[in-house]
Amino acid sequence: MPRLGLHRQRRWVALIGGFSLVVGVYWFFFSSGLPIVWGPTASAADVAAGRDLFEHDWTPNDPLAKGDGLGPVFNAKSCAACHFQGGVGGGGEISHNATGFEVLPRANDPRFLAGSLHNFSVDPADKESFKLLRKQFPVKAGRVETRTVAMENCPPSQQRTTIPDFDPVRTQSVQSTAIFGSGWIDRISEKAIVQNMRNRAFRNVGKELSLNFDAVPVGKLRTLPDGRVGRFGWKAQFASLDDFVATACANEIGLGTPAVKQAKSLANPTAPDVAPDLDRRQFKQLMAFIDTLPKPVEARPDTAKEQAAAKHGKDLFSTIGCAACHVPDLGGVTGVYTDFLLYTLDDPPPPGGGGGPYGPEPPPESPRPDDLPKPAEWKTPALWGVADSAPYFHDGSAQTLHDAILRHNGEAKSVKKAYAELPAKDQAAVESFLNTLKAPPTAAPLRDLAVTNLRRK
């Protein structure tokens, strides 16, 4: 009976189709994407060659480089100079902090500019300085504007408005982060980051409905101009590890790659381009090393007493709200402790006060582009390996974990308060837990400590 057969078949098709639709819609809205099935891998030969490039002390016209080697401007001579705490690939010392700058749109140039002021140059004529930056982007002096206002039944009066000085330049010192486990962060799906944010927003609405307004606000996702979600860097300014690494080569050491040209000096912005210093193969090797840097670990303390304290601290970390932003597991990566979202951890300035981490309010004719994070916004840093990466915060201003926690104000104020109100023993337990988050014991030891000796004058 072919007719009935066809009927049944249709029913099955409809049933399976409907079921797939339901699963599809559910997956689209509620799942956090696919778990990571394959972690980072690379051939041992590429990893070893990449490590050599990472630790290499670059010189001008370096024999390893295909272009002009180190410079023209640079912050250090090797990647390892800023990434060595707890082994090759760790964080760096504050003496190597990089100075970033931003220039807001000005009357004669509507562009928003961003760059970094390099600490060194190969040729003294290329030396960058704040003075040079200031000369190129001077402060626009304030003025007093007088307007005559006429109102009905009143004699015309003079209204004076004071327009303050406008400084289009902002500088910010940022410290190097540890890059262990970066390959895993690179593999977290965008969906997982977005879904975690949505789930938080959903839970917050639930709390508000039950009239509990203590919920930690949900951070901001940074969407880059190409539509991808930013996750690397203190401002989540890069979406992928290879983009960050190519920029680090160009900016920190002055090594051009096929993807990004080497930085030019502010003193000589029209210098001719040179051939990339690293060719495709070398860049691939450098990436192989960085991508496969081991993940930080949660170490088990030695004694039963310390283990109990760390366990208690880990529980408190969740119950007092730290885990709202420092999300322990995301997108199939366990123990990463971040949500990759931007938050403001400084209290807002007093009205009319300006200054501080917020910076002066730009005048209406020179607005800050909306899609850029505000000066006081920073990405929740991953806390894995945090025991081995002091000092803390983007500027390295918090010396200890305790100081770092107490610096959480603004959007993390309620959580900071909960921590500050804990008995000393419980506060110590939270720190004991953070102290179990260590650099990977399998990280390679630094070969040549001399590379770290280049200091900013």
How far is Cα 259 from Cα 278, in angstroms, rounded to an integer?
A: 10
- If the CB atoms of residues 80 and 267 are measured against ligand HEC, the closer one turns out to be 80
Q: Which residue is associated with the tokens 């988050």?
A: 437
Distance of CA 128 to the CA centre of its chain: 25
Question: Do the Cβ atoms of 114 and 368 come closer than 8 Å?
Answer: no
Residues 6+ positions from 282 with CB-CB distance below 8 Å: 49, 53, 64
235: burial class by Cβ within 10 Å (0-12, 13-18, 19+)? buried
Query: Is 166 or 178 the residue whose CB approaches ligand HEC more closely?
Result: 178
| Nearest partner of 235 among 347, 98, 113, 377, judged by Cα | 377
| CB closer to ligand HEC, 168 vs 357 | 357
Shortest distance, CB of residue 434 to ligand HEC, whole angstroms?
Answer: 6
Binding site for ligand HEC (CB under 6 A): 75-76, 79, 81-83, 92, 96, 98, 174-177, 179, 182, 216, 232-234, 241, 244-245, 248-249, 252-253, 290, 317, 320-322, 324-326, 343, 345, 378, 380-381, 383, 386, 389, 392-394, 401, 404-405, 408, 411-412, 415, 419, 430, 434
Give whichever of 106 and 339 is closer to ligand HEC, judged by the CB atom.
Answer: 339
**Shortest Å distance, C-beta 402 to ligand HEC:** 9
Q: Tell me how far apart the alpha carbons of residues 39 and 37 are, in angstroms, rounded to a whole number.
A: 7
Q: State in angstroms the smallest separation of the CB of 349 from ligand HEC.
A: 16
Instruction: Give the residue with the Cβ less far from ligand HEC, 117 or 267.
Output: 117
User: Could you tell me which of 69, 22, 96, 85 has the C-alpha nearest to residue 278?
Assistant: 69
Give the shortest CB-250-to-ligand HEC separation in angstroms: 8
Cβ 21 to ligand HEC shortest distance, Å = 37
Contact 291, 183 (CB under 8 A): yes
Nearer to ligand HEC, 109 or 421 (CB): 421
> Cβ of residue 210: shortest distance to ligand HEC, in angstroms?
20
Query: Can you tell me the distance from the alpha carbon of 358 to that of 241, in angstroms, rounded to the nearest whole number?
Result: 29
